[in-house]
Structure 1
Amino acid sequence: MSKSVPLLSACLLGMSVLLAGAPAVATQAAASTADLQVAPQLQAAVAGSWRTPANVVRDAHRHPAQTLSFFGLQPTQTVVEITPGGGWYAEILAPYLRENGQYVAAVVDPQALPAGGGRDYQQRSRDGLTKKFAGSPAQFDRAAVIAFDPAAPVLGKPASADVVLTFRNVHNWRSNDQADGMFRAFFQVLKPGGTLGVVEHRAKSDVPADDKSGYVGQAQVIAMAEAAGFKLDGSSEINTNPRDTKDYPKGVWTLPPSNSHDAADAARYKAIGESDRMTLRFVKPAH
């Protein structure tokens, strides 16, 4: 196996953050990331011709091969992805796990929500994912979908998953007072020794409970996971972005891909790119 060019770029970017005065934890993360290798089978899934072109463009910001390698993903595992949205990561994970593992998309049950915009949004999201899966059976015919109530989440049989992954969701759960329950559900569904992988928009420091920026403090996310019983097993700067100043009129949604800004500011925010993100790996203790 060989190291990829994107991984080298991510490592160099992490080093630039350190030189700019990033905290000591980034030093450890950048050093460990430099040793990451991407398995050919995972690289092939990332390079798959079935992926949506608009999703492929975002690889430069989301670094899927390196992120999943950091989480220790293996093709024989049962992997639960929490609220996969339009299926950005599902396009990689489901084909990668299809032959020898199991991909499970855990979606919010629309009927668990009160009538209104929230239920309608979750129904559209679920319908879109179902359509994507049905339209590409060669990639998704073995993918499973489970629905959960975010107020009382159950993500499968206890101790049935090897890995749980969540990408940019913690701020939503936190603003709805659901984060603690979600982390407990992750712990319950994972096997002893299982891995929880978290990517989240990173605030400059802790943020209040009613914060609406979309960013969360890294120490706050670690505390939530540890309160549920997890142990921090590693952190990486793969998804760092030092250009992100985190002080925008509409929070993180000002940046790509949401681009909630005036058309005249398009060049400015395109130059910043997507948000600065923490990448954290936790483990459920074996005993």
Structure 2
Amino acid sequence: MSQFIFRFNIKTNFTLLALAVASLSTVSQAMAADIRVVSSGGFAQAYKNLAPAYEQASGDKLVSGWGPSMGTTTNAIPVRMARGEEIDVVIMVGDSLDTLMKEGKLVAGSKVVLANSPIACAVKKGNAKPDISTVDGLKNAFLKARKVAYSDSASGEYIKHQLMKKLEITEQMQGKAAQIPATPVGEIIAHGEADFGCQQRSELLPVEGIDIVGLLPQEVQLTTAFSAAIVTGSKVQPQAQALLNFLSSEKNAGAIAETGLEPVAGKR
């Protein structure tokens, strides 16, 4: 009789344990969410590198999209927001994010600064590298280039409206310096459509077929902050906040630095 009770209890306990595990799995699956994220190019590679680890740890699925922080192209984040695209998290240039926050399109207080991004310049792989370590050297590189490319986002806006003036070459660059919409500057250089170009270093590094010459000289450098925030009306705000906490964690600073960014952990 006692053996029967003992065996019955073991069988019952295993059954209850199996039910408990199945129940926890069901709850975990129920709590998992699809988080729709749109990132601008400057942080895109860091995000791509970190996304698998987040998905594995959280059980959430990241549904990712890409677009510039400003401008009027179809994929530009402000344009996506204006047409009511369903997005939970945006990662973009801080100033542009602040504008969306003031407009009430992002959850107040959810902004977290992820990294700073300096501007670098590149040439087609194998071509001679101009010396841009000084302001005069950078100026000569612009003037001697057959065609110069820069982006339609933060770095390109700076080059177009401020850097050219600082270098006193605005008139000389008319007709041979072009702002490139939607396409990474590195790809334009790699395809031979420009022989010199500048963009945030983190956007140049992943592109094959180019050589990075170096950063802009410190006297004329512009470092752009990339930040993330939760979109107002997101139905998965707790999961979105968990993603922001993960991306801004100090343990991920090394992975972010590897992409050419300067990580900023926990700053707002």
Which TM class, normalised by the smaller chain length?
under 0.3
Give the structure-2-normalised TM-score: 0.26
Give the structure-1-normalised TM-score: 0.24
The structure carrying a bigger strand percent of its residues is 2
Please tell me whether Structure 1 or Structure 2 has the larger radius of gyration of its CA atoms.
Answer: 2
